[in-house]
């Protein structure tokens, strides 16, 4: 178990039990830093020591997500406008497909911004888990925009294949393609980094979308080279290749967003949660462990067994210690419910 809990000390030590007592009635804290949807590592960033500090961390995560969206929206908008000017002058269908994709990618920031704003609302009697799911629903809109951009780019490429037209201002098209790559790759790195740090699958999917835009921008250079050699079919063929690339990122993003909507989590997180509970003094067995994402925060439900000779008050203390260990040692887990049962003879 200790290889799953890498903070330099055993969570079952006396110090940690004192820490658990300090959080006796606090079920909404603990460090939350998730590396990526498909890898775990460096999961601990230290203990949070009071509820206010933990709430501040959550607010900082939401603020980081909104900041990433505002900045990337501005960068992509500028990139797309510059490319659109060149499209009008040159008539390049490959660059048109790339430009449309960039505009679509910029627009996906809008529903994500709405979702991050909704997620800040407090839970109520109707939405008892809060509004964090709005972020996952926004991921569906991202998928829709990726699909629409693929359809448009493919349609324009086929139309140009059937009715070839010359491409003008090849140097400008090549420069616009390089600008598109630079802008999209910067936005992709920024969105993916922030999305992974705050645990937002929708923001990571949007970053992957931007990364594909960057590579499709480079593909436009192939069309420029073909057009320079007099190959009229080169530009629309590259447009078709861009369409295939867009469909590829659609598949990857759909899997991530779909897994989040289906409450999928990394098995390593479940192992870590189980190990954290087993280190609590008095816990004999973990009979159930469930985790689910609500936006970019985790919630847990666990079942444990304790000795049949424990009093109700003692079993209650064990449950609180287990909750404290879960919120402390599982990244981005902000709430836990632990059910205690006596061990059967």
Nearest CA-CA partner of 29 in 6, 49, 9, 8 = 49
Domain ranges of the chain: 2-40+266-342, 53-261
Q: 333-342 and 297-306: which strand pairing? A: parallel
Rounded CA separation 31/276 (Å): 14
Q: Give residue 247's Cα distance to chain centre.
A: 19
The pLDDT, as a whole number, for residue 204 is: 82
Task: Count the Cβ atoms, other than its own, within 10 Å of residue 47.
Answer: 17
The pLDDT, as a whole number, for residue 191 is: 86
Share of the chain above pLDDT 70, in %: 80
The pLDDT, as a whole number, for residue 299 is: 92
Q: What does the block give as tokens for 318? A: 């064990």
Coil/strand/helix, residue 229: coil
Coil/strand/helix, residue 283: coil
Phi, psi of 313, deg, nearest 5: -65, -40
Rounded CA separation 77/179 (Å): 12
Task: Count the Cβ atoms, other than its own, within 10 Å of residue 163.
Answer: 8
The pLDDT, as a whole number, for residue 146 is: 80
Question: Partners of 291 in the beta sheet?
Answer: 300
Q: Tell me, what DSSP letter sits at residue 39?
A: B
Give the total residue count for the chain: 345
Instruction: Enter the CATH code of domain 2-40+266-342.
Output: 3.30.70.1350
The topology under which CATH files domain 53-261 is: Alpha-lytic protease prodomain-like (1.20.1510)
Phi, psi of 304, deg, nearest 5: -130, 160
Ranges in the chain, pLDDT < 70: 1-62, 94, 101, 165-167
**Cβ partners under 8 Å of residue 128, min gap 6:** none
- The secondary element (H helix, E strand) that includes residue 70 is helix 51-90
The pLDDT, as a whole number, for residue 317 is: 95
The pLDDT, as a whole number, for residue 61 is: 56
The pLDDT, as a whole number, for residue 19 is: 37
Q: What does the block give as tokens for 198? A: 């705050």
pTM: predicted TM-score of the whole model, two decimal places: 0.63
The pLDDT, as a whole number, for residue 270 is: 95
The pLDDT, as a whole number, for residue 75 is: 86
CB 33 within 8 A of CB 197: yes
Rounded CA separation 138/203 (Å): 9
Rounded CA separation 244/261 (Å): 26
The pLDDT, as a whole number, for residue 165 is: 67
The pLDDT, as a whole number, for residue 88 is: 83
The pLDDT, as a whole number, for residue 2 is: 38
């Amino acid at each position: 178990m200790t290889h799953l809990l890498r903070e330099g000390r055993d969570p079952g030590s006396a110090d940690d039990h004192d820490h658990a007592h300090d959080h006796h009635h606090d079920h909404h804290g603990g460090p939350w830093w998730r590396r990526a949807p498909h890898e775990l590592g460096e999961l601990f960033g230290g203990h949070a020591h009071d509820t206010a500090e933990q709430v501040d961390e959550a607010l900082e995560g939401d603020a980081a997500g909104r900041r990433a969206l505002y900045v990337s929206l501005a960068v992509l908008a500028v990139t797309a406008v510059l490319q659109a000017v060149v499209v009008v002058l040159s008539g390049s269908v490959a660059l048109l497909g790339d430009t449309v994709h960039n505009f679509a990618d910029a627009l996906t920031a809008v529903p994500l911004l709405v979702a991050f704003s909704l997620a800040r609302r407090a839970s109520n009697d109707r939405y008892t888990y809060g509004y964090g799911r709005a972020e996952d629903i926004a991921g569906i809109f991202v998928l829709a925009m990726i699909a629409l951009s693929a359809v448009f780019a493919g349609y324009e490429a086929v139309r140009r294949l059937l009715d070839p037209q010359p491409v003008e201002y090849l140097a400008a098209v090549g420069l616009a393609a390089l600008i598109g790559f630079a802008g999209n790759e910067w936005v992709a790195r920024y969105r993916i980094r922030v999305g992974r740090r705050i645990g937002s699958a929708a923001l990571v999917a949007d970053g992957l979308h931007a990364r594909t835009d960057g590579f499709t921008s480079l593909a436009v250079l192939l069309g420029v080279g073909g057009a320079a050699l007099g190959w009229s079919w080169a530009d629309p063929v590259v447009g078709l290749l861009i369409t295939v690339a867009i469909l590829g990122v659609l598949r990857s993003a759909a899997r991530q967003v779909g897994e989040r909507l289906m409450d999928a989590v990394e098995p390593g997180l479940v192992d870590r949660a189980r190990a954290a509970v087993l280190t609590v003094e008095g816990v004999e067995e973990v009979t159930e462990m469930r985790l689910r994402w609500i936006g970019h925060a985790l919630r847990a439900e666990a079942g444990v067994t304790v000795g049949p000779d424990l009093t109700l008050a003692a079993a209650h203390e064990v449950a609180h210690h287990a909750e404290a260990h879960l919120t402390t040692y599982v990244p981005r887990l902000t709430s836990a419910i632990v059910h205690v049962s006596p061990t059967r003879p």
